[in-house]
Structure 1
Amino acid sequence: MNIVVCEISLICFLWHFLLGSTHESDVTFSFMVHRHGDRTPSRYSVNYSTSPEELEKLIEPYGYGQLTEKGMQKAYRLGQYIHFQYKSILAPKFNESEIYLRSTDVSRTKMTMLVALAAIYPPVVRWKEDLNWTPVPYTTVPVKTDYNRPTSSCPELEHKMNNILSRKCSEMKPFDDVLALLSEEIGVGFDLREKPLYISQIYNTFEAQESLGLKLTPKVQRALPRIKEAADKAFNIIFRQKDILKYFCGVLLREFHEFAKLVISGSETATVRIYSAHHENVYGISKISRTDISGMPVFASVFSLNLKRAKDDFIVEPVFAYDTPGGVFSFERLDVKDCGEPCFYDKFVELTKKHTLDYDSWRKMCVR
Structure 2
Amino acid sequence: MVGVLPTGPLNAITDVEGVRVGHSTRIEGDDIRTGVTAIIPGPGNLYTHPVPAWLYVGNGYGKLVGATQIQEFGELETPVLLTCTLCVWSAANALKEWVYEQPGMGEHTVNPVVGETNDGAVNNMWADVIGHDEVYEALNTASSGPVAEGSVGAGVGTQAFAWKGGIGTSSRLLPQSLGGYTVGVLVQTNFGGVLTMNGAPVGRELGQYSYRAQLEKKGVDDRQEDGSIMMVVATDAPLTARALDRVAKRAMMGLARTGSFASNGSGDYVIAFSTNPDVRRPREGMEPFVAPSLTNEAMSPLFAATVEATEEAIYNAIFKATTVESSRGKREAIPLDDLMRVLKKHGVLNWDREMSPGN
TM-score by length of 1: 0.28
TM-score by length of 2: 0.28
Greater helix share, structure number? 1
Greater strand share, structure number? 2
> Relative contact order (C-alpha < 8 Å, sep 6+): which is higher?
1
Structure label with greater radius of gyration: 1
